[in-house]
Amino acid sequence: MLKRPAFTLIEVLISIALLGIILPALYQSVALLRDSNKHLFGYVEKSKKISKAVKTLYLDILSSDGNITIKKDEFARLCMEKTQNSLYALPSAKVCWLVLKKDNTLVRVEGSTYDLPSGAEEKVEINPIMQGVEIFDVYYQKDKVLVLLQQKAKKPISFLVQGVSKPKKKKKVKKAKKKNLISPKDTNKTKPPVPPSLV
């Protein structure tokens, strides 16, 4: 039986030196991978929030009764008088999307009935959606609503909602009054004469 010789001290020192060279490089690559995963996770979370916001805006418009008002200055202010898409379980909600001057923050305002700017007595829920908005523009023609949205240093987002019909104005129906052909004064005149024998 042959005895296998053990590692010499020099061989052990060489292997330790090689591990000392390889391990820091491996640690740096693992740290780099962890940082890139953290950045990717943050990007995915932001894109999820943006896509959720766009989906909410899309559903707000699609579920509305068509009574949409758009006021434009630097940014558009989009208000839907009645929409079925409520985040707070309202049967029908008034929803407005507008950009606040502070940090150009796009917000969603939901309530039953309110006027903008809303007072302290009005119950509304305000959800900040995104900051640094450069473009928020809305166009409404016939049954189509076009939305343009862009955040600072980001790709623009645009979508078109079709089938949003404006509410039809109810026509006032005038009821025709029945004209009495015989006036109360004339009733005595139109009675048949009574024969003198019966009087």
Is residue 140, in this structure, part of any structural domain at all? yes
Residue ranges making up the domain that contains 131: 46-162
> What pLDDT is stored for residue 42 in this prediction?
84
Per cent of the chain over pLDDT 70 is: 80
CB neighbours of 91 closer than 8 A, spacing ≥ 6? none
Kindly state whether residue 113 falls inside one of the protein's structural domains. yes
Query: Residue 84 domain-assigned?
Result: yes
Is position 151 within any domain?
A: yes
Domain-embedded: residue 83? yes
pLDDT at position 118, please?
A: 73
- Report the half-sphere exposure of 163 (CA within 13 A, side-chain side): 4
185 pLDDT band, cuts 50/70/90, is low
**pLDDT tens, residue by residue, 4-40:** 677 788 888 898 999 888 888 888 888 888 888 888 8
**Looking at the domain assignment, is residue 16 inside a domain?**
no
**What pTM does this model have?**
0.63
Element (H, E) at 106: strand 105-111
Nearest-angstrom CA–CA distance, 35 and 41: 10
In a domain, 111, yes or no: yes
Digit-coded pLDDT (tens) for 61-114: 998 888 888 988 777 889 998 888 888 888 888 999 999 888 899 999 999 888
The verdict on residue 25 lying in a domain is no
Number of domains in the chain: 1
